[in-house]
Structure 1
């Protein structure tokens, strides 16, 4: 069913009729609202019509009747929205925000539409923030003056329809940020501590500002008032000042104002000067002081010891008080004077000037005379300074005297470069002005000596050295101390380097490893420590440095490489350059404990075989210089061949001769030898053959014989043979030959006896009966028995042999007496004891040749 939308509380009765359906449609269908009709307080009256105003169904297609319909409906009065400015101000600046609020008091569920200058606003404007869905707030972020204008709002309700426009609020948007103006309320450009000053920050646009104050870009104050006062200035308040203003919860800041400089400085300190020549005076002398502040309009006050000066006839002020004259000084005028400046129009006072002490003395003092250095005796060329000083007062003029004669100098110091004529007695006196003079000072004596010449010495014994050898030179000042020394070589200063070093105070020069660059003429000169005294250079000392190290030369006497035990050999080591050498000997590179340049081995043996070298050394233990080692000489020591005596007389001849033929030979040698024969240690003259015959005529006592080989080459002689004793040698051989025959016969007899027993025993083997013990034992059985008798005992104890055995008991063998070996003849005739060996008793005894 259709409705008519009205506002307010009016009641409307409408009579609608139509003559044709088409008319109803054209009249009502164009005005049908899009929303549903209200349901409350609704009364509809319809007159009779030939057709309903609004069909209720698709089947209702009847032609309307002439009957009319009547509708009754509640009509509402349209509300007036209320527009409010919620931000504190209506004029805003770029990027500042303005907030509007729109409200309808009658009911809720209204939708609000915003207008500026009658034009509807949409969300497409980025500087307009408004939620059109049931929100009554609008935020304007100012960006340009185009946002200025009159703002209004309308409300729309789904049921109650649309309101009329709200009240208008005009918003003004400025084109630029405002800039405050800073005003400094001061009459003077420069301020002094203690004065006050006021700053004012002026904003002629808008309102609601909070003011911020800055000094040297640092915020120092914030206030709602636009003025800032510093009551009592200090020097730290100097600087560059400016202000800003802000407003709002999300603050909007103005531009900063122009800067204003505030200079706060201390009042100028006056300068006080002494116009007279001295501030320490004697009674009745005058003193003048002047005080200058350097600026106009300042007045001066004078103070002594911190107190303002009182009126005094001796104190005269002139030039506006800036000059103070003490016309006649007394003890009461002594003290520390200072002045002070005042700017009375502003109530500013300066600090005190620097003080000047005025001292008033009663008596004129006596000067003191001092000397630097404090030495009675000094050397020619030294500088000496005499100082004459009056410890009281100033402005003194000094007068100098030497040996009763006045000198030209007038300063308080007298400087002299000493010469022989400067020796004498010095004193001084002082004067000031025309009337003031002191007494004379004490007298000081000055002696002037000639500079001594140092002594140059060489620590080593030689002035010619070799490469890498060390050299030490010393420089001393006889009967004087406190000197340092400087060294020269060929008139050039010698610097310290890797090879050259100096001892304490330069008293020694050490060349650790000499080279040809160190060759030259050396001298030294001395200088006193802490004094400008230098001696002349000493007389020169020449140092010669050879190009190369010397090589030791080794000689051998005799020069044979091969020597034989017992030979004597001598070595000599020589250095043909310089002197002071000691010699070192080496065998197979092992140092020998031998000294001297000669080394003799009187009797060589095989331990002396090896390679021999030598070298020469000289110098101290820590700086020993060694020459190159000599060439090596090889010595080969061989065993000297030994001579040997043989008996040529054979065993078959012992029963047919009374003489012995001896022969001497040198073992292992094929050289041609001659021989020496010795009997009982005495050389047998004229016997050089290798054979020698011993007969009862030439040797009735049967002595001991020794032989020795002699030749012209090396070895020149052999070792002597062992001694051969010839006493009873033939007799001994005869006895031993007889014994050997008996032993051989006994062995043969035993052998045949054993054979016979074996044959006869076999024939009785077939007879029964107990077995008889064997009568003859085998050789193996004899070895195992301890009671077997020696088969040769009967022969050895024969009567004839008993007599011989008694005569020659030392060569007879028995069961209890072993055959002794007394000399080399036992090599010719040797027998073993008949005593049974421990493991072979009963065995045959052999005779060895």
Structure 2
């Protein structure tokens, strides 16, 4: 402010730094009467003067003394941190904002330049507490107040960083290896880089309060479980991170196996008990009977040798429950006891029973003797004439067959059984008398032959089987017939030469024989014929190729995997079910025969004509009269990628490969409209399904998949209620970053085809070097990500894929349609025209040559003839 000290009205002039440097009105300098106001973020330091001016005398005053303005810097805030040094996860750190020289500040705090409105105080000193977990970062502060200065300069940024706590770890000190019941295990808690810890131990998250040492000892099995430790101390860091859980897993003691032979035993027999742990180690064995404290020890009748307990001359007192247990020096020191086995000792000597399979035996016959005895493990001894004689045979089987017997083979036979070492024998059987009659007329007995009709190696449930018994060498009259199943007479009232089973069941499976009887004469029994009855078979249909190219044919093969013959095959196409049409089982389709003829060949060539053959196909087989049919095969699908004029499947984006999470729209396009058509798809898990509601179907014939996933992959086509089909498109959804963009529909020979390798992040990635493959073989390297086939041919058809540094695409089939040819009628007309033209030209040429020869000496005429020839040709 400038004042002359007079009542007169003065105007004032202002100066800075020099007497001639006049200050004028400006943005930062406002002059109002006797006042100069300097505004702005900073004030210029230096001397200022003023002087009064007026019109009356004196016209000016003296210049004032200078006033020097000094601008002091704003006070700067600083941040102090407590505690000092490394800061550990989970600790609380105090930050203090200090502004020296002034008071009454309100403090503001910032983290990563973001104001922390909750951290504001008017106290002289402010401390904020930060729990370091998740709150590390850059901090600064500044001060605000009402007096001058109104604001401090902000502090420098201070970085609060977190040092990870040391991590504890638990390990087993002793014993090493597998742990067994009865072991004492020492655990140790290790924490690296720091010392002076007090340890806390946990089992299944429950603290073990008395365990505070670095190592603890536990007993198994009661204290098995998951163990964890953590450290505490007075210095920083005051705690460690918890260790991972260490599972203390108990391995079961090895199981002992006990075997007892023989069991049951008989008084006086030797019984052997064997104990095994099933390990390569050397075990000692302890034997028990009936009670845990009743140890079987060595005695006169009880011999213990290694793993074997032998009971000699068994008595009823030896009956009871036996078990054993292994022990050794190394870990584990003992095994689990074996399961108890009850030994039964019968107080008698068993007796065998001897039987013969025939009553009337003729010379040349075979007769089988059977020796039966209770229990098992026996050898059989066979005697003739006297039971106390030397055995005529010894067998491990209970039966003995005498082949091609003579009269001298007749007599009484006995048997008995024996087992063990020393051998324990049963009582002798009662004798069986074998009487052998000389065959009549001293001739060979006629032979019965069993014939199975039909003579198939495998018969199926529901078919009809006829058995015929032919007597060879004995005439065909006056014979009665016996029918045997598994050597037992099964049809005593049927004495005719044929036996019919209709229908057959699995229970009819067995061995069958037949024989003839005429008075006191008998034929030989036929060789056994094995009849095997299986469940109704189901053929398997295969289609090759399953994806049909334009103009190609397809082979349908129907295989009955069971070993069987004489099948004739029928072929069908599935038609969607409509009211009034029969259904197949519970399937939603009926069957339309592909041909009126039933073929004996198990393959059928389908040559598509008209509408695309996309759809399901089944087959079945039949044989015999009346015809026996198999089940229908499971449906197999055939797809055609060719476009049809009536309806076609359109997709958007127009490619067969798509990225996961992208959208896809499929629609059935028909000339006029698409009413009555539905979109269908085939996947590995469902052979036919419609557009799921979760995909937000727009109409019956349009399906929008808002977010593709890999399970969205499949073959899609359009299908009408009357069984018409569109072309099919094989959609592949890739979870990776690369797909191949190729033609969706078949291309025509001679067209140009471009294959493009598309990357998920195409917008940010440049065109990369790309390898293109056909049928798995590298065919070209491109730097643009595209490969062009200028003139495609049938040989270019196949599976294509691309590969770059970004990844590898799935394979896509590129189908090539053969170029159209001239119709048969037009080609014939052209051929006839060409032939006629050549004949006419040839006749004219002969005439002209003759003229040329006759007039070759005439001057000037040669030019005319040549000219005429040129015009004709």
Q: Report TM bin, short chain.
A: 0.3 to 0.5
Larger Rg over CA atoms:
1
TM-score by length of structure 2 reads 0.34
TM-score by length of structure 1 reads 0.35
